[in-house]
Structure 1
Amino acid sequence: MHWLFRWLLVALALLGAQVASAQQLNVPGRLVAETDAPAPGSSLTLAFVFEPKAGWHGYWENPGDAGLGLQLEWKLPAGITPGKPRFPVPKPLLIGGLMNHVYEEPHAILVDLAIDSSVQSGTSVPLEVAANWLACTDTICVPQQDRFTLQLRAGGGTVEFNKRKQFDQWRSAIPVPLDQNARYAISGKTYAIAIPYPASAPLDRPYFFALTTDRIRYAAPQAARRAGDWLIITTEAQGQAAPVDGLLRIGDGQGLLIRTVAGPIPKGGDEVAALGASDKLTPAVPALPALPWLLLGALVGGLLLNLMPCVFPILGLKALTLAKAGGDQREARQDALAYTAGVVLSCLALGVTMLSLRAAGEEIGWAFQLQEPVVIFALLALMVVVTANLAGLFELPGFAVGDGLTRKSGMSGSFWTGVLAAVVATPCTGPFMAAAMGAALLLPAVEAMLLFASLGIGIALPFLMIAYVPRMRAILPKPGPWLGRFRRLMAIPMGLTALALLWLMWRLTGTEGLLAGVVAIVLLLAMLIGYRIVQARLPKAPLLLLIAGIAMVAVGAQFIPESRNADAKGEPAIPGALPFDAGKLAELRAQGTPVFLYFTADWCVTCKVNEAAAINRDETIRLFEAKGIKVMVCDFTRRDAAIARFLTEHGRSGVPLYLFYPRRGEAKELPQILTPDIIAEAIES
């Protein structure tokens, strides 16, 4: 499965490279040709030159346990054929138990282009390549992309002296193939590689970088010894017993490309110091909590989401199902498992979509689905139908829509209720989810998917406990006439949810979106009333209602306007508050002005509660004024690439986030549940 997720991310990253994106590159690159006049029948060397900013790094062709190497998609004229990229020697970097093969310093990746002899001298040779790569620090990763172009002309292949000198330096950093095969042998969990290497040749902290995947464990320590004209590297085996190709580092910036065949490993010899994670060259940075703690945080965060107001209407529907089960163990367990499957698969789908879009260069965060007006429109239509059904406005033979979402003559209804619960619940991130969802942007695909699955299990956990713990199931009320009254009562929170979605539609799209939502509600209600009138005389009325409803939503979605620009947002509640601007923030900090920076969104219930209970309070506003603190509001209601990038750089995938920048020193991060006292304590300390 690991290769499947990695392939998916790489493929979507390549797709994203097709779209130009104005972004701040943390590992900026440029394309240089050795000559502007390549000779027909020869080859031309190109250099992709990268210069990582301080604290950032790029990746080797095999990035290790995490990361993504340079991906290229060429657009070349006839007669020009690109070769395989040639990478310089990387460095091992251990972060949170994951081994990364990285470049922290300026480096060049070389590619040779074959110029066919059929290319006429004097012919224009336009080169275009879409490049996609990953830039990371010890805590975050940001997809990078650029489109490089060069305009050359076929000629005599003349190379300027300065360019020749520069390319010679870059070539000297490229490892050369060893002219003999190395040997490998596996004993238990030990993978040994014997490399022909003269006893008299210098050697400085050797290290073996595997090119072949799933042969050795990248993060395992490596030991080295010299036995005559052999250098033996031992490390931990992983996967099947098979040869591994790779790169042997033999000194600072020097390396040999190695191919291995099965064979005996020399005995004895003298140990030599191998490069390791404790060396200054490769600092070990436990930037992330251990994966079990992250999984626990996601699980607890998902569990706490059940207390959020945005999830309450869905829980009410589940309560109807459990009450109808009447304590039947088999039915309760089937229902709970189906609901859990819907929640977990939805969380995984949202996670895969978010990570894939980010790998493709999109700057989005968690809960991105509620930044899309079309998604809000579809949810609004669904909530109107469910509300009307729960209120008794219409019925379907055999099941009701409100009930059907929870109990559609089996487990399918429970599954779709789980899907709906995940869609509406995930925007309400809580304090236990922040670190886990932020870590999902950095971890390899498999570990990230485990976090999303753990979040889903946390959301479904109460119903799993009711289904599998008899004592909890025993306290459920028995079926009776009260169920009808409870069902009609549940129409109230469902109706309030529909109104909240209509309000969010207005916030996202303005008056046009509000009007479209109101028209959709009126047409849906008219359609449902019409169905109630004709259902007794028309046997196929339910099917016609379903088709008409889907068609109406599909057509209505075409008239939904796009999200408004950020400058269309309303005035902040705090007088003098500034909209988010990374440049303005840097300017204020350079002037020594304290800043309270907070991230919010109209669909984030936690954000709105904190604003009402702690931020937009008179005592807090007076404190800001007395201390000369500037307030900067970062509204993430609609997509905002700058805000998404800032959140990512702080290890977050979504809102809320609260930061206080004092006059001097680093920012203080506040808890995700605020009170006026918490804000005052952060400012005064």
Structure 2
Amino acid sequence: MLLPRPLLTLAALVAALAAPSVMAIPGAVVTTPQVRAELVAHAPEGLGPGRPMALGLLIRHQPGWHTYWKNPGDSGLPTTFAWTLPEGASAGDIRWPTPRRLPVGPLMNFGYDGTLLLPVPLTVAEGFKGERLDVTLHAEWLVCKEVCIPESGDFALSLPREQATAGQAEAFAAAEAAKPVPATGAQARARIDGQAVVVEVKGLPADWQGAALDVLPATAGALRNAAVPQASWSGAVWTARLEIDPQHTESPPALDLVLVRDGVPAGLEINAPVSGSWPAPADAATPAEPAATPAAPPADTSLGLALALAFGGGLLLNLMPCVFPVLSLKVLGFAAHAHDRAKLLAGGLAYTAGVVVSFVALAGLLLALRAGGEQLGWGFQLQQPGVVAALAALFTLIGLNLAGVFEFGSVLPSSWAAARARHPLVDSLLTGVLAVAVASPCTAPFMGASLGVAVTLPAPQALTIFAALGLGMAAPYLLASAWPRLAGALPRPGVWMAHFKVLMAFPMFATVVWLVWVLGQQAGIDGAAALLALLVALAFAAWAFGSRSLGVRARTGFGLLSLALFGATLAWALPAWREAPPAATAAAAETGWQPWSAERVAQALAEGKPVFVDFTAAWCVTCQVNKRTTLAREEVLAEFRARGVVLLRADWTRRDAAITAELARLGRSGVPVYALYAPGGGAPRVLSEILSPAEVRAMLAELPAVAAPA
């Protein structure tokens, strides 16, 4: 939900009415420390069918910063647009200007710096009759220097239908002049020759023949971007030998290429059909790609082992602190029905069903989104501030209920409360669902390799692994519900249960503290404060509506006040959660640690320095334990310094496609992950998820010491 836009003042209204062309609604410009992005339009004859019209995002980069082309190269992400236009209007695809090479160590990217306009064609149907055309755009881009920062912006413009809009005519003309044009009359073909593609082009324009040409691959994932093309002329035929990426992910039947000539702003587009069979991707990493995607182990051996690890990981999951508060609810249920074997067994089966079905459903959603191109990993739901806030609110309500502040029966409609009493199995099933919601981020320490294998297997086998994880987690409670002797050992229901119920409220509140801290890492101090205010308003509403001691008049008055407070705090919270915290992260503030990026890794390796990367997240409890017990120890840090190791921290607290992709290359789908990249190529060394100083020192002992400066 967005906040209502503020009303225009009288002076602003007069100025808006007097404006002859574009009226900029608040949000037309987004400024960050790295770029200034502005939504602009070009309609020199006004809006109408057949008239020249275009929209565009004008990006002015700060010195040293750059964004990416549709093929970003070895790292990076292209800029994306999502338009909202009225009926009768539509926006086309981005008309990408010709990019330039952006070398980063042994890697090669393609993109833009300085001032950039990304235009799109705008069309209006015959039936469009509005006086103005309201345009909104959600854009996302990755801006990089030594570090890469994913950024986004929401923009809006209101364009007059009959008046000319040409304030950015020069920028649109320059973008059009820089757009690659089809090489009319040219004929291109390509053939596979070992580990290279040989491209031949004839019929290029006369002023291009004999010139030194560069070639940029518009088709991503097939060619080695950093390799220098071996090009030559034979009369009017230009030939280039392009290296195939050893870990290529695409084997296209035709290559889309852009030829570039010095001094000419626009490249030439060619499409070269490929003859011959593409070689199979190599298994080993090369210096141009520090980490290759590992091949999935054979199914006959890996699946059985992954199932065993998943079941064992599920068993151990019951000991994790992020799961214990939910399991305390099961303890209450066990105590209430300890001597009613039928109800105990039914509750255990319902809880098991809730756990298994939730794990399989969550895994199915993850696999479906990844198949659709989304860069997601296990535990992705806690990368969204809204999900974290919803869980914090739920645990707050559960804690207040256990503490006796309110009763659910006083808040829920009588029919719901009666249904809840008639169907206690539904409570057990939903307890299993809740347990999975908060437990999934804790699974990686026990089964990181199994999860990595699971996301590479066919969907039925992958879902079987996640079902085994759920069975392992639910097994102790299922066995206890089916074993009469264990149930009989529990004390009989009595007064002690009322005290025990209040005691169980405190683990709930402790979980809320953790979730507030997680959201603070995602959205900064303002986001955490907004969540705390929202929880206070929620607690007030729960007391107002659910307290049995209040009369009808008092409950109505306090209830309406609590709803007003809740709405006001929610209006403050939602924008605060959408904004990322300042770029200066906690990782950068810690001595010796820098934010991770693929460019930093490549640069350090090119300088002959080993790199240690801590893939972490605020919601990962094991990550925080390892950080404090091992990675923050002075003797461990001193050993890193003695070996000249570059320390990078990849913070996955919020969704980050680049980190997700790197985890996938390491064969993992969740955190924590600890990897050592050594100069000279070769696959990175991945350490265990439960880290110890001894393991880190043993790893560092294999590296040569760095001589102290004189």
TM range (shorter): 0.5 to 0.7
The answer to whether the 8 Å contact 1:377/1:557 transfers is no
The answer to whether the 8 Å contact 1:363/1:641 transfers is yes
The structural deviation recorded for 1:404 is 12
Instruction: Establish whether residue 598 from structure 1 lines up as the match of residue 614 from structure 2.
Output: yes
CA distance in 2, matches of 1:550, 1:468: 47
The answer to whether the 8 Å contact 1:405/1:416 transfers is no
CA distance in 1, matches of 2:329, 2:670: 28
The structural deviation recorded for 1:486 is 1.0
Residue in structure 2 matched with residue 378 of structure 1 by the alignment? 390
Deviations 1:312-358 (CA, angstroms, capped at 9, x unpaired): 10111110000101232211111111111211222122112211221
Match for residue 481 of structure 2 among 463, 467, 480 = 467
What amino acid is aligned across from residue 680 of structure 1 in structure 2? R
The structural deviation recorded for 1:303 is 1.5
The structural deviation recorded for 1:396 is 3.3
The structural deviation recorded for 1:529 is 2.1
CA distance in 2, matches of 1:354, 1:550: 36
The structural deviation recorded for 1:476 is 2.5
Residue in structure 1 matched with residue 304 of structure 2 by the alignment? 292
Residue in structure 2 matched with residue 323 of structure 1 by the alignment? 335
The structural deviation recorded for 1:408 is 7.7
What amino acid is aligned across from residue 610 of structure 2 in structure 1? P
Deviations 1:530-556 (CA, angstroms, capped at 9, x unpaired): 1245677559x89x9899799969878
The structural deviation recorded for 1:429 is 2.4
Residue in structure 1 matched with residue 85 of structure 2 by the alignment? none
Instruction: Establish whether residue 667 from structure 1 lines up as the match of residue 684 from structure 2.
Output: yes
Residue in structure 1 matched with residue 467 of structure 2 by the alignment? 453
Instruction: Establish whether residue 585 from structure 1 lines up as the match of residue 597 from structure 2.
Output: no
Residue in structure 2 matched with residue 394 of structure 1 by the alignment? 406
The answer to whether the 8 Å contact 1:374/1:560 transfers is no
Residue in structure 2 matched with residue 353 of structure 1 by the alignment? 365
Deviations 1:93-141 (CA, angstroms, capped at 9, x unpaired): xxxxxxxxxx999799xxxxxxxxxxxxxxxxxxxxx999999xxxx99
The answer to whether the 8 Å contact 1:601/1:636 transfers is yes
Residue in structure 2 matched with residue 487 of structure 1 by the alignment? 501
CA distance in 1, matches of 2:372, 2:251: 9
Residue 578 of structure 2 aligns to a residue whose secondary structure is: coil
Deviations 1:16-44 (CA, angstroms, capped at 9, x unpaired): xxxx9876579x9xxxxxxxxxxxxxxxx
Residue in structure 2 matched with residue 303 of structure 1 by the alignment? 315
Aligned residue-pair number? 451
Change (3 A) 1:396 1:587: closer
The answer to whether the 8 Å contact 1:351/1:449 transfers is yes
- Which structure 2 residues correspond to residues 44-59 of structure 1 after superposition, within 5 A? none
What amino acid is aligned across from residue 675 of structure 1 in structure 2? S
CA distance in 1, matches of 2:378, 2:329: 25
Residue in structure 2 matched with residue 501 of structure 1 by the alignment? 515
CA distance in 2, matches of 1:406, 1:618: 54
The structural deviation recorded for 1:442 is 0.9
CA distance in 2, matches of 1:413, 1:144: 51
What amino acid is aligned across from residue 588 of structure 1 in structure 2? A
TM-score of the pair, normalised by structure 2 = 0.55
- Which structure 2 residues correspond to residues 497-536 of structure 1 after superposition, within 5 A? 497-533=511-547
What amino acid is aligned across from residue 684 of structure 2 in structure 1? A
CA distance in 2, matches of 1:107, 1:461: 59
- Which structure 2 residues correspond to residues 548-567 of structure 1 after superposition, within 5 A? 558-564=574-580, 567=583
Residue 644 of structure 2 aligns to a residue whose secondary structure is: coil
Change (3 A) 1:592 1:331: same
Deviations 1:283-308 (CA, angstroms, capped at 9, x unpaired): x9845642121111111112111111
Residue 509 of structure 1 aligns to a residue whose secondary structure is: helix
- Which structure 2 residues correspond to residues 15-26 of structure 1 after superposition, within 5 A? none
The structural deviation recorded for 1:363 is 1.2
The structural deviation recorded for 1:485 is 1.0
Change (3 A) 1:313 1:576: same
What amino acid is aligned across from residue 319 of structure 2 in structure 1? L
Residue in structure 2 matched with residue 122 of structure 1 by the alignment? none
- Which structure 2 residues correspond to residues 100-249 of structure 1 after superposition, within 5 A? 170=275
CA distance in 2, matches of 1:143, 1:575: 41
Residue 439 of structure 1 aligns to a residue whose secondary structure is: helix
CA distance in 2, matches of 1:659, 1:598: 7
CA distance in 2, matches of 1:329, 1:605: 36
Residue in structure 2 matched with residue 618 of structure 1 by the alignment? 634
The answer to whether the 8 Å contact 1:594/1:661 transfers is yes
What amino acid is aligned across from residue 614 of structure 2 in structure 1? Y
The answer to whether the 8 Å contact 1:142/1:648 transfers is no
Residue 652 of structure 1 aligns to a residue whose secondary structure is: coil
Instruction: Establish whether residue 630 from structure 1 lines up as the match of residue 642 from structure 2.
Output: no
What amino acid is aligned across from residue 418 of structure 1 in structure 2? G
CA distance in 1, matches of 2:509, 2:424: 26
Change (3 A) 1:445 1:25: farther
Instruction: Establish whether residue 437 from structure 1 lines up as the match of residue 462 from structure 2.
Output: no
CA distance in 1, matches of 2:451, 2:661: 15
Residue in structure 1 matched with residue 45 of structure 2 by the alignment? none
What amino acid is aligned across from residue 582 of structure 1 in structure 2? A
Identity %: 37
The structural deviation recorded for 1:361 is 1.6
Residue 658 of structure 1 aligns to a residue whose secondary structure is: strand
Change (3 A) 1:304 1:637: same
What amino acid is aligned across from residue 380 of structure 2 in structure 1? F
CA distance in 2, matches of 1:549, 1:418: 33
The structural deviation recorded for 1:591 is 2.2
CA distance in 2, matches of 1:367, 1:654: 7
Residue in structure 1 matched with residue 211 of structure 2 by the alignment? none
Residue in structure 2 matched with residue 58 of structure 1 by the alignment? none
CA distance in 2, matches of 1:143, 1:392: 60
The structural deviation recorded for 1:447 is 1.0
The structural deviation recorded for 1:376 is 1.0
The structural deviation recorded for 1:455 is 1.5
Gap runs ≥5 in structure 2: 1-68, 78-193, 200-217, 224-246, 259-269, 279-294, 703-710
What amino acid is aligned across from residue 682 of structure 1 in structure 2? M
Change (3 A) 1:106 1:323: farther
Residue 442 of structure 1 aligns to a residue whose secondary structure is: coil
Residue in structure 2 matched with residue 338 of structure 1 by the alignment? 350
What amino acid is aligned across from residue 628 of structure 1 in structure 2? G
Residue 364 of structure 1 aligns to a residue whose secondary structure is: coil
What amino acid is aligned across from residue 540 of structure 2 in structure 1? A
The structural deviation recorded for 1:471 is 3.3
Change (3 A) 1:310 1:410: same
CA distance in 2, matches of 1:405, 1:297: 39
CA distance in 2, matches of 1:438, 1:550: 45
CA distance in 2, matches of 1:395, 1:369: 29
The structural deviation recorded for 1:560 is 4.9
Residue 370 of structure 2 aligns to a residue whose secondary structure is: helix
CA distance in 2, matches of 1:550, 1:348: 38
Change (3 A) 1:24 1:358: farther
Residue in structure 2 matched with residue 681 of structure 1 by the alignment? 698
CA distance in 2, matches of 1:314, 1:374: 20
What amino acid is aligned across from residue 650 of structure 2 in structure 1? C
Gap runs ≥5 in structure 1: 1-19, 29-102, 109-129, 152-162, 174-251, 254-283
- Which structure 2 residues correspond to residues 393-412 of structure 1 after superposition, within 5 A? 393-397=405-409, 409-412=423-426
RMSD: 4.8
Residue 490 of structure 2 aligns to a residue whose secondary structure is: coil
Residue 397 of structure 1 aligns to a residue whose secondary structure is: helix
The answer to whether the 8 Å contact 1:373/1:563 transfers is no
CA distance in 1, matches of 2:486, 2:695: 37
CA distance in 2, matches of 1:512, 1:144: 48
CA distance in 2, matches of 1:667, 1:681: 16
Change (3 A) 1:131 1:22: closer
What amino acid is aligned across from residue 674 of structure 1 in structure 2? L
- Which structure 2 residues correspond to residues 634-649 of structure 1 after superposition, within 5 A? 634-649=650-665
